[in-house]
Structure 1
């Protein structure tokens, strides 16, 4: 079905909405540059290089164009990039079994072809190292994407989006006043409420980011990272007449517990206080729904272009159980998923039975997974506060400010 769709598409039909790439541009690049993989198409056209939801269609266009020569192996079999013949699983295994704790050591041990790697393998290696050896492997900022280096989300005009964290979507008058003052002081062009129940300040210049963080005096919302994003909540039993559980407090507790969690891809949670599901828990990586007798947990939901409903995982009785089971699943995902693999795709690859066996059927392993995540998070700091407290980390922003003053 995918191949017939790709074949019937006209050349001027858009394939990648994120980057405005049509089918004809992709076909032309494949033919002119001799491309045989989706990764090569990404580099030459930017198609499928942002949200990735069109990668399947790009793959089918590739197959239609070059036939059997197309390199369309599943990610579990593909080399991590052109710098190595090893796939993601083999790289993770080597890092774990040989106690590799730095990018140079990992590249040397695994005979990397390119001494310094590339923009594809370095972020993956960095994540595998810090998630495998927390407290030992040092995060390498230069191996992160621009959003994670700047700790804000770059926009089409080169300015940035800043989303401060609001635990469980709850705020207060003092925070709202500070946000308003920041919007005035830095002449923020747009202030917008996000789908994750947070406030987004759009159009901030890079050199203004440290000042914005300082004046907000709020934690990072991590809206820019392959990390925990938000825990969306409904009002729940505290105010709603239909609420069966205190979903707001559960969401706040989960978000505090997961704060600063880096992951293979972005992770979103939601907690609904009753089966009416006002927080849209069914399309989150971890969705929690309160019922009279406890909580139902769903995993692997995704609200992207190809919406995926979360699968029922387990029913538990207490808030403590919600915390333990949710964090154990997320740690399993952190340890086993490939870099840039969402929870739904990880689940499709390893199977729900594998996940249930690790988290539900083995209480000892579940508790160990839970504790390993807590241990890993114990080393993390709020990136905004860290940037402000360490002068050497502010140089990137200060240098731009100085340059602008010189050119003024």
Structure 2
């Protein structure tokens, strides 16, 4: 007969313990699970993405009703445990008693509320559970809402960033001199504060709260500081720390200090009662991060099944879940006489790294802006590795140990299985190794199985190295291809170095980046030309001779040497006058073929080179401009007739398509870009296979990106839902600009998004309103410089006979 196990608290620690227990012996215990919240186990770490809108509550549920049913767990959710009778071995709940053979206390912690005057007013909340998160989400739905967050630690900053992402005016009040003082030194704290303020969050450090002021309705209306400053608010969030929830254990007569005392096997002072999580104290230590809680869960499950194990408190690392703030901290970085620092600063990139060394051991690491090597530094701290021989190159990470040419695989091989590889999704090396052993033999399969590298993409190289280590020669690492034979640099290297070194001319690129050919070649010059004009629109002058022949001739060359001329038709709309002008031009210049294209335009095929300036002039006089059918830029915006004419149309898709085309036309991009706007989900404009596709629905606009309908066929991925035309246009412009600034030349958007991950794109285009608006602003600056009708420009300045083609490689037309 199974023993009876009662668990009080359905949080992450007890949930992981139950997983280990059921895996080891599913029939060992009949389990009853109490939880004061009216729900089971969910990932509290992911409340921040729920608050910011990146995830839903359903996406962070760890154990749903089906899981509990499958494991025969009796759930008593929404029921508070009021006492433990150790003599009778029963747990007393609001709805009755339950007997136990073994009891696990996992009551977690309570948020600390500063006893300021007014702390108990309505509108003052902590940040601990789903209800707190929902209160902040509801605030974001109120126009002009204001919030004050007391506390500049992890939770406080995540709360502030989440509300700011929803449009709330947020002020953070922190009593210490810099943010996250327990995890960061002053320099990193300064960079973090600057980054948050750039997101529109007001940050007040060294500020002491005095009173929470009530408004006429009796709710919290402002926070008064000790200098008399009043900060108005509609909601006040206290995130100043947590305290172990020990009342239940204390009333039961268990040994309690700051937390419930447990030994190495997670057993309390009563041999039949065990405890784990934020409520426990082990050898004087308390716990607030998830890694040690999961270690405790494994040990406690082993104790319940009679397997020898012992909990050992290890070093922990911290990462901040705030979009655009890449931060890592581990170990001890306090100043001391017997310690030395190694510091790396790159202000132009916002990168700061500090390593703290004591003797021949790394004891602390703080990184901001570039945290890719965080897992490696963390393993050195945790394993107390002797770093004497790598002292000179330690700050540069694992790839430089033994010299710059050292094999980086050796560093990855040395990482323990619990080393974190993917910070965005919390995936460790062991999880990836298990996935590979289970049949995931390429990067895509590992992503699908574990989500490692599926978010921001910065850990992709590490994941590939783990694949190579596990699979050996059967896995081929993708080779980093240089731009061309003129250089050893990849496209990504060139893009990065142009920004970092502020290179603003082609000669500067050739000189500073060590080009082997003095002036480049037909392969690299178009790419470098685009990168320069995308990054420095106000400083760099476009070089027409560094463009492909079609872009230089403003027309698509055909196989017989003639050209295709295609005037722009905004959103596929034309007029009788435009049609007459096209017909007249076709007659006048003996155009052999007039073709209606798939992009809802009219193509004049077979125009002789010498007639190009004249036909452009005639079409210009009719009010038509180049359709850029030859360019690496916006080609078409395909539309359906929408709500103006169609009985199924939900919005004015034609009007939106025209607005988008008029905003985006003339913009140079890494490859051609095509848009579609469909007036309803019937999708007559085929928006779901475009680079950007918008489907109109009753509630607004579904904005999708990264579709394809050429050599590859791919459906768009949902970027965001917009409620207004203006929002849909802004999202589209921001996406195009992010693509312009970051993609490899000749990569279509779907290839680029596959590399960086849609989550990374969303963080910058959807979640971070300041980032979105900055992208739009930079796009407008570029357009103000480079958007010119090339036909009109050419006619005005170069009305001369067709010149022979230059020596640049020809490209295929559409």
What range describes the TM-score normalised by the shorter chain of this pair?
Answer: 0.7 to 0.9
Instruction: Return the match for 1:370 from 764, 769, 776.
Output: 776
Shift of 1:361: 1.2
Q: Is it true that 1:144 corresponds to 2:547 in the alignment?
A: yes
- Which residue pairs with 2:718 in the alignment? 312
Q: Deviations over 1:42-93 (max 9, x none)?
A: xxxxxxxxxxxxxxxxxxxxxxxxxx9xx9835xx21111100111111111
1:356 is the counterpart of 2:762:
yes
Q: Provide the rounded CA distance (Å) in 1 between the counterparts of 2:681 and 2:784.
A: 34
Does residue 221 in structure 1 map to residue 627 in structure 2? yes
- Counterpart Cα distance in 1 of 2:559 and 2:802: 22
Alpha-carbon distance between aligned partners in 1 of 2:673 and 2:741, rounded to the nearest angstrom: 14
Asked if 1:93 corresponds to 2:496, the answer is yes
Residue number among 474, 478, 486 corresponding to 1:83 in the alignment = 486
Deviations, residues 311-369 of structure 1 (Å, cap 9, x unaligned) = 11111100000111111011111001000000000011001111111111111001111
Instruction: Say yes or no: does 1:265 pair with 2:671.
Output: yes
2:579 — aligned with what?
Answer: 176
Decide whether aligned partners of structure 1 residues 114 and 211 sit closer, same or farther in structure 2, where only a CA change above 3 A counts: same
Question: Which residue pairs with 1:342 in the alignment?
Answer: 748
| Equivalent residue for 1:236, pick from 630, 642, 651 | 642
Pairing 1:107-146 to 2, within 5 Å after superposition: 107-146=510-549
> Higher strand fraction: Structure 1 or Structure 2?
2
CA deviation after TM superposition for structure 1 residue 135, in Å: 2.4
* C-alpha distance in structure 1 between counterparts of 2:802 and 2:709, whole Å: 38
**Alpha-carbon shift at residue 305 of structure 1 (Å):** 2.2
Q: After TM superposition, what 4+ stretches of structure 1 lie above 2 angstroms from structure 2?
A: 71-74, 397-400
- Which residue of structure 1 aligns with residue 593 of structure 2? 190
What secondary structure sits across from 1:192 in the alignment? strand
**Residue from 723, 731, 734 that aligns with 1:328:** 734
- Distance between the aligned counterparts of 1:399 and 1:102, measured in 2? 27
1:206 equivalent to 2:609? Answer yes
Aligned to 2:478: 73
CA distance in 2, matches of 1:229, 1:83: 31
CA distance in 1 between counterparts of 2:525 and 2:507 reads 10
* Contact 1:328–1:367 (CA under 8 A) maintained in structure 2: yes
Matched, 1:388 2:791: no
Residue aligning to 2:231 = none
- In structure 1, stretches of 5+ residues that fail to align are 1-67, 401-408
Name the counterpart of 1:277.
683
CA contact (8 A) 2:656 2:725 kept: yes
Task: State the superposition RMSD in angstroms.
Answer: 1.4
Q: CA deviation at 1:399?
A: 4.6
From 562, 575, 586, the counterpart of 1:159: 562
CA distance in 2, matches of 1:244, 1:398: 48
Question: Partner residue of 2:654?
Answer: 248
Q: Offset at 1:94?
A: 1.6
Deviation string, structure 1 residues 286-312 (Cα, Å, up to 9, x no partner): 000100010001100111022111111
1:106 CA drift (Å)? 1.1
Map of 1:405 onto structure 2: none
Q: Comparing both chains, which one has the higher relative contact order based on Cα–Cα distances under 8 Å and sequence gaps of 6 or more?
A: 1
- How far is 1:158 from its partner? 0.6
Instruction: Quote the Cα distance in structure 2 between the aligned partners of 1:389 and 1:97.
Output: 38
What CA distance in whole angstroms lies between the structure 1 residues aligned with 2:500 and 2:792? Answer: 34
- Determine the C-alpha separation between the residues in 2 that align with 1:72 and 1:230: 37
- The count of residues paired between Structure 1 and Structure 2 equals 326
- The CA deviation at 1:147 is 0.4
Q: Aligned partners of 2:660 and 2:784: how far apart in 1?
A: 15
Q: Distance in 1 between matches of 2:558 and 2:477?
A: 31
Shift of 1:378: 0.8
Instruction: Tell me what 1:20 maps to.
Output: none
Cα distance in structure 2, aligned partners of 1:105 and 1:142: 17
Q: Aligned with 1:313: secondary structure?
A: strand
Q: Is 1:286 aligned to residue 689 of structure 2?
A: no
* Separation in structure 1 between the aligned mates of residue 713 and residue 496 of structure 2, nearest angstrom: 32
Unaligned runs of 5+ in 2: 1-472, 805-814
User: Which structure's CA Rg is the greater one?
Assistant: 2
Do the aligned residues in 1 keep the contact of 2:705 with 2:718 (CA within 8 Å)? Answer: yes
**How far off is 1:398 after superposition?**
4.5
With normalisation by structure 2, the TM-score equals 0.39
**Partner-residue secondary structure (3-state), 1:81:** coil
Question: SS of the residue aligned with 1:339?
Answer: coil
TM-score between both structures, scaled by the size of structure 1? 0.78
Partners of 1:339 and 1:193 lie apart in 2 by 29
1:101 touches 1:138 (CA, 8 Å); kept in 2?
no
